[in-house]
Amino acid sequence: MAKIKTIELNISERLSALSILNQFKGNLETMSIILKDVVKFSITDKDWKLAGKKEVTTGENTQWSWDNEKGGLKSIELDNVTAKYIVDDIEKRDAANEFTLQDKPYIELLAKLK
């Protein structure tokens, strides 16, 4: 039976996890496990409404803003394979100094998964 890790994530952390999982490269066995977990990170219209999501379009660019506190936390049960994939990706990018202050949700996500 798969080992499960339970974490509570805000919207920014869920978006960060989804961006990592969306770029998955690996074997089909791992992919099948990750695919089962991806839907758990989803952000519903209700979540966005609670967080007060706003969209501002300037020319061709659209920027979103929201309040993580108002959006609350979502409890997610992940297979350890998915958690390890996310952790490995964040640690690799951190070691390569790819993160800036704007990437705080990735570091928070890492702390919750370790």
**Residue 1: is its pLDDT beyond 70?**
no
- Write out pLDDT tens, residues 23-74: 999 999 999 999 999 999 999 999 999 999 999 999 999 999 999 999 999 9
Reading the block at residue 91, the tokens are: 């640690």
H helices present in the chain, as ranges: 11-22, 28-38, 45-51, 68-71, 80-95, 104-113
**Residue 88: is its pLDDT beyond 90?**
yes
Can you give the pTM of this predicted structure?
0.91
**Residue 7: is its pLDDT beyond 80?**
yes
Distance from C-alpha of 88 to C-alpha of 99, rounded to nearest angstrom: 14
Of 73, 64, 67, 63, residue with least CA distance to 9: 73
